[in-house]
A = this chain, B = another copy of it.
Amino acid sequence: MISAAMQQIWEVFIVLFFATFTKSAYTRSCGRPSAPLPDDSASYCLSWRLGVEANNVRAWRTVPTQCLRHIENYMTGGQYERDLNFIMEHIESYIDTIQLSEDGLDAWILDVDDTCISNVFYYRGKRFGCDPFDPDGFRKWALRGGCPAIPAVQRLFNNLVGSGFKVFLVTGRDEETLGQATLDNLHNQGFIGYEKLIMRSAAYRGQSAVAYKSEIRKQLEGGGSGGDIGAGGYRIWGNVGDQWSDLQGNCTGNRTFKLPNPMYFVP
């Protein structure tokens, strides 16, 4: 009886031993533990994400379905936050080189959605962008005013305001329908002390983000008739957004910074 039990235990032991040994041998010969050979899908999704972030892939409507797990893992597994923190460090280094004048015209532009405040919770329910954009669903989400601050950008915001920059929050959100909810959301997340929240008024409805945001920046720099910004004359030192359409067009600012966003594309 004892011998039979011992035989069984021995067999299990041998199986486990060889399983462990085989895995170690594989790891040694086929790749480093910290840099495994990606499978085809992971490799494709890395290419896709790089293509999006380097502005080679444009006007895309949905995340490729095969990349759902990759994007989910990127957005919620820590690398997205690490990428944001890394960019913030570079922005802070740049800020340290800027000598502010005393005329109060040193400006900085931040986008709102997925720059100041996060829609990751919403996009979790949209398969991280694998589902097509749902305007009604997003409006309902935004009206709740519950987007959490992105901590790295909030620190940057506080630094900018504390340093004396005039911070303009420029968003493509519709002013009429989302104005109050957006003001409330920014306030409840601690974005306090900015110069102005500029939202898309009726005059800009239907315009591309590049055209609308270029016009706003032009008014910030030059002022002029019909502007929402007053006399203008601002120097735009920095411009931060998660979309290339935040950062392209005219009067883009002295430095632009592209935050990662592999979940959706705004033209």
Is A175 in contact with chain B by the CB < 8 A criterion?
no
A255 (CB) vs chain B CBs: closest residue: B58
Is A37 in contact with chain B by the CB < 8 A criterion?
yes
With A13-B16, A53-B53 known to touch, is A43 a contact of B90 (CB < 8 Å)? no
What's the least CB distance linking A247 to chain B, in Å? Answer: 9
**B-contacting residues, A26-66, CB 8 Å:** 31-39, 41-44, 46-48, 50-51, 53-57
Cβ contact within 8 Å between A44 and B13: no
Q: What is the 8 Å Cβ interface bit string for chain A, positions 64-98, against chain B (1 contact, 0 not)?
A: 00000110010001110011011100100000000
A contact face: mostly helix, strand, loop, or mixed: helix
In the bound complex, residues from chain B placing their C-beta under 8 Å from that of A86 are: 44, 47-48, 50-51
Copies of this chain, whole number = 2
Given A51-B83, A53-B53, A56-B257, 20 more A-B residue pairs with CB atoms under 8 Å apart are A2-B3, A9-B9, A12-B13, A13-B16, A16-B16, A31-B77, A34-B39, A35-B73, A43-B79, A44-B86, A46-B83, A47-B79, A47-B85, A48-B86, A50-B50, A51-B87, A53-B54, A54-B258, A54-B260, A55-B258
21 residue pairs from A and B, CB less than 8 Å apart: A2-B6, A6-B9, A13-B16, A34-B38, A35-B42, A37-B77, A43-B78, A46-B79, A46-B82, A47-B79, A47-B82, A47-B85, A48-B86, A50-B53, A50-B83, A50-B86, A51-B86, A51-B87, A54-B260, A55-B258, A56-B90
**B-contacting residues, A182-214, CB 8 Å:** none
Query: Interface of A with B (CB < 8 Å)?
Result: 2-3, 5-6, 9-10, 12-13, 16-17, 20, 31-39, 41-44, 46-48, 50-51, 53-57, 69-70, 73, 77-79, 82-83, 85-87, 90, 256-258, 260
Cβ contact within 8 Å between B32 and A73: yes
In the bound complex, residues from chain B placing their C-beta under 8 Å from that of A16 are: 13, 16-17, 20
* A33 CA to B258 CA, complexed, in Å: 31
* A3 CA to B36 CA, complexed, in Å: 42
* A35 CA to B86 CA, complexed, in Å: 21
What's the least CB distance linking A125 to chain B, in Å? Answer: 21
What's the least CB distance linking A131 to chain B, in Å? Answer: 22
